[in-house]
Amino acid sequence: MWLYLAALVGLYYLVRWYRERQVVSHLRDKYVFITGCGSGFGNLLARQLDMRGLRVLAACRTEKAAEQLRAQSSDRLETVTLDIAKTENITAATQWVKERVGDRGLWGLVNNAGISGPSGCNEWLTKQDFVTTLNVNLLGTIEVTLSLLPLVRKARGRVVNISSIAGRLSAVGGGYSISKYGVEAFSDSLRRELAHFGVKVAVIEPGSFKTNMTNTERVLRQIREVWDQAGSEIKEIYGRKFLESYLKLISEHVLPAAEENLSEVTDCMEHALTACHPRTRYSAGWDAKLFYLPMSYMPTFLADAILTRILPRPAKAL
């Protein structure tokens, strides 16, 4: 019996491996629009797809970043400046994409742009702190998608949304995890709706990688700024010792564990765009596969017990 079961499991993975190796034809004729190409995953993906021969339309937040990307790429790659938190920017970028893809439509839309946003304990934050993050990571992603969806549908193409393993397990406060949970929900509903039109939707869930968003100095500065804006009563309840322990946990254990090889993520993005049979979800990074993803499937009481034990204890906790 066990032998038959092992053979069945082996056959499943063999068939899956074979299906996932099949590549879409005529890649050099296909247009892909990527947001957040100024640095990090978006920048590497734009160059990676450009080398693969696809027609890359790269959106950067600043013209300086766009110039640097063009200097590192072939003449096929084109850039546009885009702040996805601004509707007028999205409208202009949509028209720019339409002019380039014409009747072919847009094969791939990669919603990569995002910010880490102010983070820390939820009580330290204001409503505006949450709004700032949600406007970019969630509402910006939704608006870009809705604006370009007719072009993707015309090409029977792909939508690739960059979520995070924080969209499966919320370990810290702030708007980042909330926004990524929202991206997961948006992607799920979108995938089912667009299946009728031959459009595939994939979600990438990276763990912790070394990018501008995980820069240690930047992250610690944001946490201190959030702490400084908190009221005196909140500071008394948590205590200065809690803050220092929290910063030490982030700077000495969480951020140093971030992986440096960004291609682990961009390879997932590329597969979602170029494979005949892309996956619904891709998890990238050992921390995602071995810690966060298993934790997300644990009973809530067990996950809570582990995470509560890791985090420092407030001064006036019961």
Residue 229 lies in a domain: no
Res 209: pLDDT: 93
| Res. 254: pLDDT tops 90 | no
Question: How many structural domains compose the chain?
Answer: 1
Q: Distance between CA 28 and CA 50 in Å, rounded?
A: 9
Distances (CA, A) of 301 to 298, 309, 311: 8, 12, 16
Residue 177 lies in a domain: yes
Residue 112 lies in a domain: yes
Here the tokens at position 41 are: 């995953």
| Res. 197: pLDDT tops 80 | yes
Nearest CA-CA partner of 38 in 95, 101, 82: 82
Q: Is 113 helix (H, G, I), strand (E, B) or coil?
A: coil
- Residues taking part in catalysis: 176
Residue 51 lies in a domain: yes
* Averaged pLDDT for residues 97-123: 94
Residue 105 lies in a domain: yes
Q: Which domain holds residue 136?
A: 23-210+260-298
Nearest CA-CA partner of 272 in 197, 176, 187: 187
Dihedral, 35, 39, 45, 49 alpha carbons, nearest 10: 90
Residue 286 lies in a domain: yes
The band of 117, judged by pLDDT with boundaries at 50, 70 and 90, is: confident
Q: Distance between CA 52 and CA 317 in Å, rounded?
A: 55
Residue 77 lies in a domain: yes
The band of 40, judged by pLDDT with boundaries at 50, 70 and 90, is: very high
Q: Residue 178: which CATH number?
A: 3.40.50.720
Residue 215 lies in a domain: no
Res 5: pLDDT: 81
| Mean per-residue pLDDT over the chain, rounded | 93
Q: What is the pLDDT of residues 266-284, one digit of tens each?
A: 999 999 999 999 999 999 9
